[in-house]
């Protein structure tokens, strides 16, 4: 294990609640214990400046500000990712910092403190990560994911990055929380409508296997009403009737407290509520995973 990893991580043990991107003392790479995946996820954070063009009410990024990713030091990213994979796959990192039964690397994800595709170096970062995955024999063994709000899908470099991800057998998780402008403004902090969302999701699905990722929350303790659910379900129906090749819908609610000023408004929904919505979505024709 590199001194860089051991010196910082030694003071910490990975836990389910600890999604601190600086847990390993690195700028771009952070390990997270995932109960859902029953192992460790390796995150790649292209937004160490905590900047995103959206402002989701449930966002767990501390000190979130509006903006885009800064210039990425690709050689530092390469060094950090190689060192971390070396420590996890050939060293004792997992044994030392993950509990028994969870000592396995399950996936890697572009997911960090902001929108990864706001980096103009996104496609280069995908190529670099792909090369490292090949070196460690990980292509096809663990998924490479992009967690995105989808708002940069019209950019050529994002489409390039998605095509490279498809070659690496990767997948996209793209946000669709609400399809009507008023709900999107309240929940995602942006101007958004069903046509724009349709275009973004279609572009993603045409370039790389894509899951829709939907976070539903209670607002001032009120469950989402028809004004949100009807346009949301209408958009899913449109995806289905247009035959978009989607993998399905990932449905979840608030897992940890929001770090935003809207935190007092949002709270998690009961699993039974999510399960009922999942049944409606399945009836439209999509597979749904609730977590």
- Distances in Å between the Cα of 141 and the Cα atoms of 23, 30, 124, 144 are 25, 20, 22, 10
Residue count at the site for ligand SF4 (CB under 6 A)?
10
Contact set for ligand SF4, span 60-99 (CB under 6 A):
61, 64
Q: Closest approach of Cβ 149 to ligand SF4, in Å?
A: 4
| Residue 108: CB atoms within 10 Å | 24
Q: Closest approach of Cβ 93 to ligand SF4, in Å?
A: 27
Q: Return the beta strands (E) in the chain as ranges.
A: 29-34, 39-44, 51-52, 65-66, 105-110, 144-148, 171-175, 210-215, 218-219, 246-252, 266-267, 288-290
**Sign of the C-alpha dihedral, residues 256, 60, 54, 187?**
positive
Question: Considering the rule CB under 6 A, would residue 48 count as an interface residue with ligand SF4?
Answer: no
Q: Closest approach of Cβ 46 to ligand SF4, in Å?
A: 11
Which neighbouring-strand residues pair with 242?
Answer: none
Decide whether 33 or 52 has the Cβ nearer to ligand SF4: 52
Decide whether 176 or 208 has the Cβ nearer to ligand SF4: 176
Residue with tokens 């390039």: 160
Integer-rounded Cα radius of gyration of the chain = 19
Residues in the chain: 291
Question: Considering the rule CB under 6 A, would residue 54 count as an interface residue with ligand SF4?
Answer: yes
Decide whether 110 or 239 has the Cβ nearer to ligand SF4: 110
Please say whether the beta carbons of 146 and 109 come within 8 A.
Answer: yes
Question: Considering the rule CB under 6 A, would residue 59 count as an interface residue with ligand SF4?
Answer: yes
Q: Which residues contact 272 (CB under 8 A, 6 or more apart)?
A: none
Q: Which stretch binds ligand SF4 (CB under 6 A): 28-36, 50-58, 72-80, 123-131?
A: 50-58
Question: Considering the rule CB under 6 A, would residue 266 count as an interface residue with ligand SF4?
Answer: no
Binding mask 106-135 for ligand SF4 (x = CB under 6 A): --------xx--------------------
Question: Considering the rule CB under 6 A, would residue 201 count as an interface residue with ligand SF4?
Answer: no
**114/116 Cα distance (integer angstroms):** 6
Please say whether the beta carbons of 143 and 210 come within 8 A.
Answer: no
Q: Closest approach of Cβ 257 to ligand SF4, in Å?
A: 13
Question: Considering the rule CB under 6 A, would residue 196 count as an interface residue with ligand SF4?
Answer: no
Decide whether 105 or 125 has the Cβ nearer to ligand SF4: 125
* Chain residues that interact with ligand SF4, rule: CB under 6 A: 52, 54-56, 59, 61, 64, 114-115, 149
């Amino acid at each position: 294990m590199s001194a860089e990893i051991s010196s910082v991580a030694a003071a910490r043990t990975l836990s389910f609640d600890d999604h601190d991107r600086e847990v390993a003392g690195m700028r771009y790479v952070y390990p997270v214990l995932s109960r859902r995946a029953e192992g460790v996820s390796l995150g790649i954070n292209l937004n160490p400046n905590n900047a995103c063009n959206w402002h989701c009410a449930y966002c767990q990024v501390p000190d979130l500000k509006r903006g885009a990713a800064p210039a990425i030091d690709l050689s530092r990213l390469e060094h950090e990712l190689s060192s971390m994979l070396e420590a996890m796959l050939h060293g004792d990192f997992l044994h030392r910092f993950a509990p028994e039964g969870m000592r396995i690397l399950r996936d890697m994800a572009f997911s960090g403190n902001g929108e990864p595709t706001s980096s103009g170096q996104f496609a280069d970062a995908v190529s670099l990560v792909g090369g490292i995955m090949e070196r460690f024999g990980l292509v096809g063994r663990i998924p490479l994911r992009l967690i995105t709000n989808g708002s940069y899908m019209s950019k050529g470099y994002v489409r390039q990055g998605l095509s490279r991800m498809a070659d690496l057998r990767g997948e996209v998780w793209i946000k669709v929380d609400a399809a009507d402008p008023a709900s999107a403004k309240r929940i995602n902090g942006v101007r958004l409508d069903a046509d724009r969302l349709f275009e973004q999701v279609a572009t993603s699905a045409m370039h790389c296997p894509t899951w829709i990722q939907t976070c539903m929350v209670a607002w001032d303790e009120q469950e989402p009403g028809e004004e949100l659910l009807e346009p949301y379900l209408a958009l899913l129906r449109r995806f289905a009737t247009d035959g978009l090749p989607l993998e399905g819908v990932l449905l979840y609610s608030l897992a940890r407290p929001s770090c935003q000023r809207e935190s007092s408004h949002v709270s998690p929904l009961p699993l039974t509520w999510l399960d009922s919505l999942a049944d409606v979505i399945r009836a439209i024709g999509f597979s749904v995973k609730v977590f």
